Structure 1
């Protein structure tokens, strides 16, 4: 489901490092060379490139990129170059320091990553920031937001396929009762979303729709301007259908006055190796225009080229 295109014959890592080193020398940075290398290497290969570059030239590749590149192009190249757990730790750390919309980023990391990926991101957070993600989420959030986000980032979900239909039916009823009573931050509602396996939650939400005639997220649109309800809807989408969640993130980032480069960069950098193929299909179906065309219309220069490279534009 990845859109990353890695050549069948990858050059030796020493060659990649030498070419990158050349790209930074001279009068101007060779951005095209950087895209042609980093934009066509997977996470494991990028990690080895970083290690070898440091050993060969005595410099941290990420710091060199920081020095040589600028603006949105710098942001996407640096995010992409990061090892995925470190990238998630970095994004989560940024999100804990801001309010409102950035909470969506914490939900993305907590609910769309596998149990192991979330654990690795939290371990990377320890190493980078000398404290835990839970500690920062607890400190920087308040009220209902903290009540939801803290258990989401603390969870270690079961990842098997087993489903208990008795539990699904009982918990669909609990969810309906709480939502009907506007008890959106109820302990049981949060417990179900924060602890059950994604397969179990899917069964519960299917039963909810069958039994009560409406998709749960429609019932959670009682007050469209309520930020906590928006976060709850995002939580459910991320757990149940992440590709649709990311399609909407891209649509909102592109289809408005002034592109939201932050969201566009984050989604492309974090999903290119995961499920970008499905996200692209969802995007075209929903918007009747391909994602690459929307990106070309809304971005320019090296930033545009890097985005298109990562979503597999022009690659067979």
Structure 2
């Protein structure tokens, strides 16, 4: 998506091919070659992890859509089932996502984020907020198709309080289209005041539902107008206001939602950094960031280097090891090669 379009609507993460009615794309001999590489890598006793990295680590999201379809056509087996049997650990989890088209991969990520006691709220927020309407509609439709469960119902059972309120706003897939006759300076002033009244200016408590509605459903250009007015009038940016008013995962999610509309590449760079912060790496979050945002990692890498003085490849080298590290580096190198 061009920079000019980003001003008016949120970024599409899914490749354009995902939105075509007929998902039987012309795959070409290159895709067949990758399928053959995978087949060779899993032949016999044990798998050849290096061969799998060579095959799937050099793919893009659109490639993986085609590979998932073509592998089943050629070998009459689901690629995800093959790789689930042959791989394990963080490497195996990444391979599972790479064996699926981008939408099904996100559905699998949501399932993994909801496993066990307590959910991975941060990962859920990155998937559910800051999305374009058509991405979100396709995600909900696909989740129901493969799991016969309503995604909104699943998330409502996993998240509570402010985390649910934020996710619920994102699940609506109701970002307003920018209309210069409606999204005026006057309305931006009204909404900035409304945010203040329901947040920092509220005498007791915060009305998070109204805050999230404005933050999540406003088109990027209009949210930028509100942000500038809010900062001028109240001395805080919207992200700073959310940091002041909210706590925990909801605070991180709300800030991410705002930045995905105002500065999406910086927002993603910050999330990669967050996955690597503290004691130990959040491998699930890191894996999902690299795979989900791969197509835009050239921009993200530039932002990351500007913000932190190191590129994404160096961060992966510092935080990961083994075949898992090699796989993530290969995915990054495909779209943002080191000079």
TM-score by length of 1: 0.87
1:223 Cα deviation from its structure 2 partner: 6.6
Work out whether 1:127 is the aligned partner of 2:148: no
Q: C-alpha distance in 2, partners of 1:99/1:177?
A: 36
Q: 1:87 to 1:293 in 2, by over 3 A?
A: same
Say if 1:65 and 1:74, in contact at 8 Å, map to a contact too: yes
Q: C-alpha distance in 2, partners of 1:146/1:250?
A: 23
Q: 1:159 to 1:308 in 2, by over 3 A?
A: farther
Q: 1:155 to 1:69 in 2, by over 3 A?
A: same
Work out whether 1:73 is the aligned partner of 2:94: no
- Corresponding residue to 1:250 among 272, 277, 288: 272
Q: Which residue of 2 aligns with 1:241?
A: 263
Q: Which residue of 1 aligns with 2:193?
A: 173
Q: C-alpha distance in 2, partners of 1:132/1:201?
A: 30
Secondary structure of 1:15's partner?
A: helix
Secondary structure of 1:59's partner?
A: coil
Q: Which residue of 1 aligns with 2:105?
A: 87
1:46 Cα deviation from its structure 2 partner: 2.0
Say if 1:155 and 1:194, in contact at 8 Å, map to a contact too: no
1:21 Cα deviation from its structure 2 partner: 0.8
Q: 1:314 to 1:235 in 2, by over 3 A?
A: closer
After alignment, is 114-123 or 253-262 more displaced?
Answer: 253-262
- Corresponding residue to 1:198 among 215, 220, 224: 220
Q: Which residue of 2 aligns with 1:5?
A: none
Work out whether 1:158 is the aligned partner of 2:176: yes
Q: 1:187 to 1:13 in 2, by over 3 A?
A: closer
Q: Which residue of 2 aligns with 1:292?
A: 313
TM-score by length of 2: 0.81
1:192-231 matches, within 5 Å, as: 192-222=214-244, 225-231=247-253
Say if 2:290 and 2:332, in contact at 8 Å, map to a contact too: yes
Q: Which has the higher contact order (CA 8 A, sep 6+)?
A: 1
Q: C-alpha distance in 1, partners of 2:169/2:338?
A: 41
Q: 1:13 to 1:252 in 2, by over 3 A?
A: closer
After alignment, is 281-290 or 143-152 more displaced?
Answer: 143-152
Work out whether 1:108 is the aligned partner of 2:126: yes
1:70 Cα deviation from its structure 2 partner: 1.4
Q: C-alpha distance in 2, partners of 1:225/1:150?
A: 18
1:294 Cα deviation from its structure 2 partner: 1.9
1:174-226 Cα distance to aligned partner (Å, 9 max, x none): 11222222643344323212432232222211221122222122233337754
Work out whether 1:33 is the aligned partner of 2:33: no
Say if 2:163 and 2:249, in contact at 8 Å, map to a contact too: no
Q: C-alpha distance in 2, partners of 1:202/1:192?
A: 12
Say if 1:147 and 1:185, in contact at 8 Å, map to a contact too: no
1:145 Cα deviation from its structure 2 partner: 2.9
After alignment, is 154-163 or 116-125 more displaced?
Answer: 154-163
Q: C-alpha distance in 1, partners of 2:261/2:84?
A: 34
Runs of 4+ in 1 over 6 A off after TM superposition: 98-101
